[in-house]
Chain A
Amino acid sequence: MKIQHLAMASVPIQTWGQIYDNQTALKKGTIFQELDMPFFAADDGGMSGCCCQVSDTADPNQREREEKMLQIYQVCFAADDLRLYLDTHPQDMQALDLLKSMLAQRKQLLKEFAQRFFPLTMDCMEELYQAGTGEDCYCWQEGPMPWEGACV
């Protein structure tokens, strides 16, 4: 960090350090271990993780959907956090390599989810039509609305 100056705020620039795996990162709210600074009142004996696991359902279809959706949450969140890091560290090749990997996984997961269940984006709809699997379906309204809490 450069010399600090009077009458000016200063925050040290983060350097690349230890990274959480995608599952842990989503629960913690960051992929960066150094930025994980919990509040004592929120420290209720570790993460219950109740929101980041599939429900106890007997329905295999529902279970598969929740598992796939959870993977989407995890991979996309890692990409979100990496993107903000790269916005201020565009030269960091380790971060860039990881972002590339997350973006590729994201694309594949969204594609699989659309084929098996319903599309989450307009691009996923287009892929369905290209593959000839969704030709007679305007599938945009399929599946529960995100705020219903039904699909993880």
Chain B
Amino acid sequence: MWTYEKRLQFPVKITKTCPKTAQLIISQYGGPDGELSASMRYLSQRYTMPVKAVGGLLTDIGTEELAHMEMICAMVYQLTRHLTVEEAKTAGFDAYYIDHTAALWPQAAAGVPYTALEFQSKGDALADLTEDLAAEQKARTVYDNLLRMITDPEVREPLKFLRAREIVHFQRFGEALEKTKEKLNEKNYYFYNPEFDKHMIIRE
């Protein structure tokens, strides 16, 4: 169950139209390391996690990623809401405009549509948490790359906020991995799969 709160997690107030910036930022909506992928990854992986607290953490971070997706969409929307067809033509936004006008649709910066193939839900806590650590790093790199290219402070502030969240989430997933390891045999962490061979897990 989710409930909606009528606000963003961080204020987004962009006054200058810039379809080029919108086309870059949209990658964090539907791209390979985007917020939609992040949210679906964590919210898919959580059900079979062998440590209850880790399932709880995946729920909370997966929920926060939904709020980040909303921020990214708000940025794309505000960057294109007053778009003229001339601006769409000259700023490299033309191909997107043909298919979606100025509406929001999840795709990568290069136009590849959002797909669930961008993440895994492997059913093995060590494999999944290691993917989650990598996912936060990759998303952080995207924000680094965006910050190198974008100069408008109204766009940079929310991007900096989102980048900082990737680092915090990395730390939390690292702690979740440590919690999971405590339940395993430290002489051989790979002796069994804690999500499948449940009878072998070390009891609380």
Contact = CB atoms under 8 A, between A and B. Distances in A.
Contacts of B177: 9-11
A103 interface: no
A35 B74 contact: no
Contacts of B162: 29
B77 to A, nearest CB: 5
A81 B168 CA distance: 8
A152 B189 contact: no
Interface string A64-95: 00000110110011001101110111100000
A42 B156 contact: yes
Kindly name the residue among A32, A41, A72, A119 whose own CB sees the greatest number of chain B CB atoms within 10 A: A41
Contact of B172 (A47, A49, A87, A145): A87
Contacts of A101: none
B13 A29 contact: no
Interface of A: 2, 5, 7-14, 26-30, 32, 35-39, 41-42, 44, 47-52, 55, 69-70, 72-73, 76-77, 80-81, 83-85, 87-90, 118-122, 143, 145-149, 151-152
The interface residues of chain A, by DSSP majority, are classed as: loop
B167 interface: yes
B153 A50 contact: yes
Contact of B171 (A5, A35, A38): A35
Given A70-B11, A87-B53, A146-B6, A13 B178 contact: yes
A-B pairs, 5 with minimum CB distance: A11-B174, A29-B164, A147-B74, A88-B175, A149-B13
B5 A120 contact: yes
